[in-house]
Structure 1
Amino acid sequence: MKTPVFFRTAIRALPLLLLACSPKTDPNPIANGEADFSRYVAVGGSLTAGYMDGGLYRASQLASYPNLLAQQFRFAGGGEFIQPLFSEEQENGSGYLQPTTLNPLQLAPVSDRLALRSSSPTLYTKFSGENQNFGVPGLRVTDVATAGYGAAGSNPFFERLLPTGQEQKTYLAYVSEAKPTFFTYWLGNDDLLGYVASGGTRPLSTLADFTTGTKQLFDALAASGSKGAVGNLPDPTLLSLLRSPAELMAYRNDKVGPYWIATGTGEVRVANETDRILTTADSIGYLSAAGFPKGFFKIYPLQNADVLDADELLQLQQALEGFNAALRTEASARDWPVADLNALFRKAKQGYLDYDGTRVETDLFLDGQLSANSISSFDGVSLNPRGQALVANEFIDAINRAYQSQLNRLYVGRYTALRQGK
């Protein structure tokens, strides 16, 4: 069933490109330093897999930062990088959101050329053979030792990676078989995003469980003696999914206010500028049986699941700080560098010019208008190809500093900021 998403906004005139071309790099071999890139493996969750626009599909997989890194590694002794790509015949994979109209912007799910082999439970076409991108959409650190995580009815993205009959294998066991010479690790975003997307109603992973899972995966990667780089976790409040009341009013072009919300403690009050409202709260303004528009009256407020109030935001920040401290401590103990992706996203939230002159912003909408410079995909949570290229560059910088390699950075302006529908 199609459930279009509406963004009530004007749109700047801007080019909507298809997937950008590959970056230009020096064809001559470059120094790999102390790193051996001959067998590169990427460990992570949604963003590592290339999840984009609310789904995973062939073009998004090709735009993933591990694939972009592998292209640069090839000039420093890197080998072939094999991803679990959806076939060209089933290129739309799980499906994703694409524009159907541009003003106002309306999104609808793609429904053709999908890789579905079952809709109940959801199962995707199996991928068989060698794999080096271990990114699994939805994977949390606290899931890595869970037997049956790849079974039918659990995570279909992991299920498609496992051979038939091995669905009880844990993600930890899957990684333990990898034997890379070099790896990147960026896992933990989904431990935070589930809480954010639910308005704080879904529990956060505990720090103890997060630390245990991190240690287990790090030990598995260290067992082969490989070198690697770890990415820390960006603050989810920097993403386009959340808005302050003032930002949401401009984003929706609402002429009246304020918004009324129900907090996590059950209090009903006017939303203030310390609260964050989910842009997915698309029931705002719906009329009750008595004729009251939702969110604009105390008797018909936005529900707790639509809002992160100040207390819930504090819990989120405490979890983020604890998770990043655990990643930093465990990486330091193994002499692995940490790419500071949290700092990158904070800088992008303010807007800045990248070294190639490209303007970079996190917000999908600025001042009520669609941004041509955003690194967010249409779901407001995951990254578009330009955002993936920025992440790749942050890893490249960390790798070059730690291992004295001379990998070339990507020109992020060559990568698409917004994607046009078919």
Structure 2
Amino acid sequence: MIKNMKWLLLVSLTFVACNNDDSDTPAEVPVVAGSAVFTKYIALGDSFAAGYSDGALFAKGQSNSYANILSQQFAAAGGGAFTTPLMLDNIGGFSSGGLQVPKFPTRLTFIGATSSPANVPGVSATPITTHLTGTFSNLGVPGAKSFHLIAPGYGNLAGVFATPATANPYFARFASSATTSVLADAVAQTPTFFSLFIGGNDVLGYATNGGVPTSQDPVLGDDITPTATFNFAYNTLVTTLTANGAKGVVANLPYITTLPHFTTVPYNPLTAKSIGKNNDAVGLATIKLLNAQLYGPLKQALTALGAGDRINLLSETSTSPLLIKDETLPNLGAQLAAIFAPTLGAQTAGAYGAIFGQARQAKTTDLILLTTKDAIGTAPTAANSGLGIAPAFPLNAFGISFPLQDKHVLIPTEIAEIKTATDAYNVIIAAAAEAKGLAFVDTRSVLAQLSNGGFRFGNFTMTSSYAVGGAFSLDGVHPSARGYGLIANIFIDAINAKYGSTLRHVDLALYPIQYPLTIQ
């Protein structure tokens, strides 16, 4: 009898619960900070923290930075005000004397029915010499490398105009003094919580320049940062930021060679239609001519030299790979010149040897830069041919009859250098997070997922596909607004897991994948 009464009680309670109007809506978990304290949140990093998008920094992009999104979620758990050094409009870049500064162009967008993005018209309302007063919570600095965040004078306006530059104009806008560092301006605000996402630029410039290093100057430098330098800078940052008990979240680095900037242009885009500039008949005739006058003789000569696998004839019916220069190949220029001299004459044969001595067709293991798309098929000039002259027909088409240069392509040895450096940086980041008890975000895994199936939310799937995938902006490197929302969400996951907080995700559907020509 007692047993039956228990069952009757259970059934009655169930009946009451099922008829309760609130039963279909799960009770919301209260938003709490856990062991974290969000009263004073500071974000340190590079262009990602700043909200750089579509090849420029502009006000709307800054408002959609992952750092700003995080601060909004922190507000529900006791977070305080979060300030950003906003640009003055949504044109993007910097101006000087009423003209756009070429190094800092306007943002990219699709204009009209064009298939390729273009810079928005107009001139930025943000002069490169303007300095803002006050303190700022978002210390993300586009272009910054790890060691730049600890460098005194990185915001010295005079250094922006030095040759080479010794300072960064984005930091010069809001640095508290000419001699301060990003780190010093951060700790001066006594943060209770910080985010640190830095290191991408330590390899990015090298990658976007096709593996051609020049210098380490703050704006245009593109050498890979030595591991020892990164180690010192990163541990200095983390040790200093946590010295007064602040908690924080750090993120490792994805392989930037999986970004759409490096994966969008195929290694083999050449067809009769593309070679003929949308005219199949012209393209087919050009292919036949090139095979007879260039590819055929090159293939024959290289085969005689034991390197026949470098070049094959262009296909008349399918796709063909781009012609590139590979500086790791043995240079057969002198041998080719000797072979061609009897038919072409010594001078012309010498030119052919110089052009094709390290030439080969691209392979699946090569990465063609997004910016190279506009170079394919264009005529080499004296300035960019690598020869000091503008070659004549038939050697007047980059990637088709004239090899794309080192700056246009990442070859396997360069890709390996970037991966090796990234792996080393990530070991340092993970060790620092473990040593200081910080939340840790694995962005490398996230980008890998974006590249392999994507993230599903609601009726959307976000991938890393250029322009249409939703995660990345039109420069192929920096996230879209929705991509920054995704970054904020994975940061929130890491913070909740580490500190027992219950911060909520943002709705990614509320963030656009592209900004229009005119931003309201």
Residue in 1 that maps onto 2:506: 410
How far has the Cα of 1:257 moved from its partner? Answer: 3.0
Report the structure, 1 or 2, having the larger strand content.
1
**Residue 156 (structure 1) aligned to one of 169, 173, 188:** 169
1:208 to 206, 215, 228: 228
Partner SS, residue 431 of structure 2: helix
Correspondent of 1:233 among 243, 248, 253: 253
Which has the higher Rg, Structure 1 or Structure 2?
2
Partner of 1:22: none
Q: Distance in 1 between matches of 2:38 and 2:376?
A: 50
Displacement, 1:244?
7.2
User: Shift in Å at residue 312 of structure 1?
Assistant: 0.5
Contact 2:120 2:517 in 1 (8 A): no
Letter in 2 for 1:290: A
Cα-to-partner distance string for 1:301-334 (whole Å, 9 max, x where unaligned): 1110111100011111101110011000011100
Deviations 1:44-86 (A, max 9, x none): 0011000111111100100000111111111111111111112
**Structure 1 length-normalised TM:** 0.84
Q: 1:212 to 1:415 in 2, by over 3 A?
A: same
Are 1:279 and 2:370 an aligned pair?
Answer: yes
User: 2: CA distance between counterparts of 1:252 and 1:76?
Assistant: 60
How far, CA to CA, are the matches of 2:270 and 2:74 in structure 1?
Answer: 43
Please say if 1:145 is aligned against 2:241: no
Alignment-mate amino acid for residue 240 of structure 2:
A
Task: Measure how far apart 1:96 and its partner are.
Answer: 1.5
Q: 1:391–1:124: structure 2 CA closer, same or farther, 3 Å change rule?
A: farther
Contact 1:375 1:386 in 2 (8 A): yes
Equivalent pair of 1:51/1:382 in contact (CA under 8 Å): yes
Alignment of 1:240-251 (within 5 A): 240-243=260-263, 246=266, 249=269
Amino acid of the structure 2 residue aligned with 1:379? D
Secondary structure of the structure 1 residue equivalent to 2:118: strand
SS in 1 for 2:515: coil
Q: Distance in 1 between matches of 2:480 and 2:263?
A: 19
Query: In the superposition, relative to structure 1, how do residues 176 and 265 fare at CA in structure 2: closer, same or farther (>3 Å)?
Result: farther
Partner AA of 1:391 in structure 2: I
Cα distance between partner residues in 1 of 2:120 and 2:74:
35
Other structure's SS at 1:157 match: helix
Judge conservation of contact 1:356–1:412 (CA < 8 Å) in 2: no
* C-alpha deviation, 1:247, in angstroms: 5.9
> TM-score of the superposition, structure 2-length normalised?
0.69
What is the identity, as a one-letter code, of the residue corresponding to 1:269?
Answer: R
Q: Identity over aligned residues, as a percent?
A: 31
| 2:325 corresponds to 1:223 | no
Task: Note the 1:93-112 alignment, pairs <5 A.
Answer: 94=94, 95-112=106-123
What amino acid is aligned across from residue 320 of structure 1 in structure 2?
T
- TM superposition shift of 1:355: 4.0
* Superposed counterparts of 1:43-192, under 5 Å: 43-87=44-88, 92=92, 94=94, 95-116=106-127, 123-151=128-156, 152=158, 153=160, 154-163=167-176, 166-192=177-203
Tell me if the contact between 1:29 and 1:75 (Cα under 8 Å) persists in the aligned partners: no
Query: Take 2:195 and 2:489, find their aligned partners in 1: how far apart are those partners?
Result: 13
Give, in whole Å, the separation in 1 of the partners of 2:423 and 2:441.
15
Instruction: Evaluate the alpha carbon distance shift between residue 92 and residue 144 of structure 1 in structure 2; reply closer, same or farther with a 3 A threshold.
Output: closer
Which portions of structure 1, spanning 4 or more consecutive aligned residues, are displaced by more than 6 angstroms? 250-253
Q: CA deviation at 1:348?
A: 0.5
Q: C-alpha offsets along residues 245-291 of structure 1, whole Å, 9 cap, x if unaligned?
A: 63662899835632111124363211110010111112211124412
- Alpha-carbon shift at residue 353 of structure 1 (Å): 3.6
Secondary structure of the residue aligned to 1:32 is coil
Q: Is it true that 1:296 corresponds to 2:418 in the alignment? A: no
CA contact (8 A) 1:200 1:312 kept: yes
Distance 1:399 1:357, change over 3 A: farther
Higher relative contact order (CA 8 A, sep 6+): 1
| Structure-2 separation of matches of 1:262 and 1:172 | 42
Q: Which residue does 2:323 correspond to in 1?
A: 260
From 405, 408, 411, give the equivalent of 1:309.
411
Do the aligned partners of residues 246 and 130 (structure 1) sit closer, same or farther apart at CA in structure 2, a change above 3 Å counting? closer
SS of 2:404's equivalent? coil
Counterpart amino acid of residue 280 in structure 1: T
1:326 counterpart = 2:428? yes
Q: Distance in 1 between matches of 2:91 and 2:325?
A: 42
Change (3 A) 1:172 1:355: same
Judging changes above 3 Å, is the alpha-carbon distance between structure 1 residues 93 and 27 closer, same or farther for their aligned structure 2 residues?
farther
Q: How many residues align?
A: 380
Q: More displaced, 254-263 or 178-187? A: 254-263
Post-superposition shift, 1:175?
2.7
- Decide whether aligned partners of structure 1 residues 312 and 398 sit closer, same or farther in structure 2, where only a CA change above 3 A counts: same
Report the counterpart of residue 437 of structure 2 in structure 1: 335
CA distance in 2, matches of 1:248, 1:231: 35
CA shift at 1:356, angstroms?
3.5
Structure 2 residue identity aligned to 1:287: A
Find the aligned partners of 2:485 and 2:418 in 1 and give their Cα distance: 27
User: 2:37 corresponds to which residue?
Assistant: 36
How far apart in 1 are the matches of 2:82 and 2:399? 49
Show CA shifts across 1:183-203 (max 9, x none).
Answer: 111011111211111111122
